[in-house]
Amino acid sequence: MHPRDALAAVLVCAAVACSSPSPTFSLAAASVDPTYWCPGGASDAAYDLHATVDARNGTSREVTIQSATAVMVLTSVSGAWLEKIGARYDAGTVNVTPASVAASSNAKLGVTIPSACTSARYGASASSSGRYTVTVRLVTSAGTFSIAAANPHEILAA
């Protein structure tokens, strides 16, 4: 083999090695409970909103979830709603299970988001509802990741 051909072969191999994607941790396919019926007469009644997120760990090390937060943003309303469109609710720290994803594996993460609702007594007024986008943010040993749920969460009230 001619030295020039050998150099070309080395450069091609180096280019292929540099252009191949490195193994990463990623999130996909987030979804939340689609609907919550707020009890009639409730005032800041606490409830748990559930989300699922698919996690893919393409790395050679376990990825631990160090903390998680969630934010809900009101995108639309029907009827009389206490908040205005664009209102942001920061749920603060949320619970995630499992707390880690093994090396070279996938996991479905369960996220529990504390929320609350207020509703007039049923029959006392026209019904109303608010639709929210939900975004989950995870701080992990592989970095920080955010993902919005593909579906909205709607709170239905009297």
Domain boundaries of the chain, sorted by first residue: 23-157
Residues 6 or more apart from 135 whose CB is under 8 A from it? Answer: 70, 71, 73, 146, 147, 148, 149
pLDDT tier at 76, thresholds 50, 70, 90? very high
Query: How high is the pLDDT of residue 2?
Result: 55
DSSP character at residue 52: E
Q: What is the mean pLDDT of the chain?
A: 89
At 51, list the tokens. 């989300």
pLDDT digits (tens, 9 = 90+) for 25-64: 999 999 999 999 999 999 999 999 999 999 999 999 999 9
pLDDT tier at 15, thresholds 50, 70, 90? very low
Assign 3-class secondary structure to 86-132: CCEEEEEECEEECCEECCCEEEEEEEEEEEEECCCCCCCCCCEEEEE
- Is the pLDDT confidence value at 18 over 80? no
Higher pLDDT, 106 or 122: 106
CATH 2.60.40.10 is held by the domain 23-157: yes
CB distance 136 to 53 below 8 Å: yes
- Is the pLDDT confidence value at 1 over 80? no
Phi/psi for 11 (5° steps) reads -65, -40
CB distance 32 to 51 below 8 Å: yes
Distances (CA, A) of 99 to 62, 94, 122, 138: 10, 12, 40, 11
